[in-house]
């Protein structure tokens, strides 16, 4: 396809797949799109193992990695001890989490779990942590680095240019897009409020043309549309509004290769587009996730979520326990189980292979193009 994204990344079809599952990354790249491996929670040694596996199975096809290095978070730029991080988490929040767990016959969390999480979260969100991650990643033949929150740190942009690796950044507002272009990013991932995970509050249908119009006089930076996109028809619509391709995350969660908790996968396959919620309760920043009694409790009676990364230290240990117990058949945990997913979940009704999803996108894209052409005959 004649797309700036295809030319820049040397891919056949401008569909990029964000996934924490290496099998999905490989399958999408081999099908003509581009897999992007979510690396935010991985220490360098584990990342090396995962990327080595991808290299051994991807047959030389292009792939990328995704990181989260936000410009703003609690304690950024300060030398803060783990003990001080733990003290910054109010007892009220710890008690509330335990009340949700205990109401579903799950033992409450201890401070030791929060302490474990504080080390890795602090490292992953820092520029130093990003640099060590990038050092590992750039030893591999990656073609893209994506930063999921804020303007990429200077080191990311510099290393990208040095190694001829494109740097992408996710934006949820026109103003953010302009800042990213001025900072020198190579690709904009324009994510509407329908998106799973961190997202803004402007719909993809409005945001894509708004960003396109705001940057075209500044610099010719290709746009990947994101947010609720699970079909080739939606992808074609986004490209008609100024996008050069699509960035999708949710649609891969129900694929046969995905490592999604089977309990959550079944919930997603049965969900409608109204079964998600945009909330700060998981990370301290707005993110969209599957609705469950866990999210309902935070929305109806929970304390005000803490700033990033403190809220994650409250929520993630409990959610990991819920995830593990639910897979073991614990009924209370199965009710609470949730994960990030966009409003496009209402269109995800069957578990298909990732390669089949890519092929469906291609066919649906062509169908949409032909449908529009029919109006001019």
pLDDT digits (tens, 9 = 90+) for 13-47: 999 999 999 999 999 999 999 999 998 878 899 99
Own/partner pairs for 33-37, CB < 8 Å, 24+ apart? Answer: 33/358, 33/361, 34/9, 34/62, 34/63, 34/64, 34/143, 34/144, 35/63, 35/64, 36/63, 36/64, 36/65, 36/66, 36/144, 36/146, 36/247, 37/63, 37/64, 37/65, 37/66
Confidence of residue 305 (pLDDT cuts 50, 70, 90): very high
Which region among 75-89, 217-231, 329-343, 345-359 has the lowest average model confidence (pLDDT)? Answer: 75-89
To the nearest whole number, what is the mean pLDDT of the chain? 91
Does the pLDDT at position 234 exceed 70? yes
Q: Residue 83: pLDDT band by 50, 70, 90 thresholds?
A: low
Does 110 have pLDDT greater than 70?
no
Average pLDDT over residues 123-151: 82
Q: Contact at 8 Å (CB) between 39 and 96?
A: no
What is the C-alpha to C-alpha distance for residues 211 and 241, in angstroms, rounded to an integer? 10
Average pLDDT over residues 160-169: 96
Task: Pick the more confident residue, 108 or 271.
Answer: 271
Main-chain phi, psi angles of 202, to 5 degrees: -100, 135
Q: Can you tell me the distance from the alpha carbon of 73 to that of 330, in angstroms, rounded to the nearest whole number?
A: 35
Distance, in Å, from the CA atom of 172 to the CA atom of 150, rounded to the nearest integer, reads 10
Token readout for 285 is: 């920043």
3-state per-residue secondary structure call for 70-110: CCCCCCCCCCCCHHHHHHCCCHHHHHHHHHHHHHCCCCCCC
- Indicate if the pLDDT at residue 114 is higher than 90: no
Q: pTM of the full predicted structure? A: 0.92
Strand partners, 167: 145
User: Would you kindly state where each structural domain of the chain is located, as residue ranges?
Assistant: 4-77+126-251
Q: What is the DSSP string of 154-167?
A: HHHHHHHHHHT-EE
The percentage of residues in the chain with a pLDDT greater than 70, rounded to a whole number, is 90
- How far apart are the C-alpha atoms of 294 and 315, rounded to whole Å? 10
In CATH terms, the superfamily for domain 4-77+126-251 is Aldolase class I (3.20.20.70)
C-alpha span between 133 and 343 (Å, rounded): 31
**Structure tokens that stand for 324 in this block:** 């593990």
User: Cis (ω within 30 of 0) for the bond into 186?
Assistant: no
Q: Tell me the per-residue pLDDT of 315-373, one tens digit each, with 9 for 90 and over.
A: 999 999 999 999 999 999 999 999 999 999 999 999 999 999 999 999 999 999 999 99
């Amino acid at each position: 396809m004649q797309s700036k994204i295809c030319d820049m990344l040397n891919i056949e079809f401008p569909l990029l797949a964000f996934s924490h599952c290496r099998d999905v990354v490989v399958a999408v790249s081999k099908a003509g799109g581009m897999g992007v491996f979510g690396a935010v929670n991985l220490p360098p040694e584990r990342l090396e193992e995962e990327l080595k596996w991808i290299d051994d199975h991807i047959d030389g096809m292009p792939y990328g990695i995704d990181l989260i290095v936000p410009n703003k978070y609690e304690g950024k730029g300060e030398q803060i001890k783990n003990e001080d991080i733990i003290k910054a988490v109010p007892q009220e929040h710890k008690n509330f989490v335990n009340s949700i767990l205990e109401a579903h016959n799950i033992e409450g969390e201890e401070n030791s779990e929060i302490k474990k999480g504080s080390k890795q979260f602090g490292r992953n969100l820092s520029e130093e942590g990003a640099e060590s991650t990038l050092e590992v990643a750039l030893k591999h033949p990656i073609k893209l680095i994506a930063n999921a929150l804020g303007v990429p740190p200077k080191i990311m942009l510099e290393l990208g240019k040095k190694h001829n690796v494109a740097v992408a950044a996710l934006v949820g507002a026109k103003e953010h897009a302009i800042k990213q272009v001025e900072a020198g990013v190579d690709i904009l991932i324009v994510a509407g409020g329908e998106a799973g995970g961190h997202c803004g509050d402007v719909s993809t249908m409005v945001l894509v043309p708004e960003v396109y119009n705001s940057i075209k006089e500044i610099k010719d930076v290709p746009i990947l549309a994101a947010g609720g996109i699970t079909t080739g028809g939606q992808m074609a619509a986004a490209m008609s509004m100024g996008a050069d391709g699509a960035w999708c995350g949710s649609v891969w969660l129900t694929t046969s290769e995905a490592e999604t908790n089977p309990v959550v996968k079944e919930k997603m396959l049965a969900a409608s587009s109204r079964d998600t919620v945009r909330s700060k309760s998981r990370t301290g920043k707005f993110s969209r996730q599957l609705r469950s009694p866990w999210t309902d409790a935070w929305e109806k009676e929970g304390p005000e979520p803490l700033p990033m990364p403190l809220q994650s230290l409250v929520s993630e240990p409990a959610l990991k326990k819920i995830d593990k117990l639910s897979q073991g058949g614990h009924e209370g945990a199965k009710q609470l189980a949730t994960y990030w997913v966009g409003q496009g979940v209402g269109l995800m009704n069957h578990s298909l292979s990732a390669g089949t999803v890519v092929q469906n996108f291609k066919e649906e894209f062509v169908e949409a193009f032909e449908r529009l052409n029919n109006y001019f005959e």
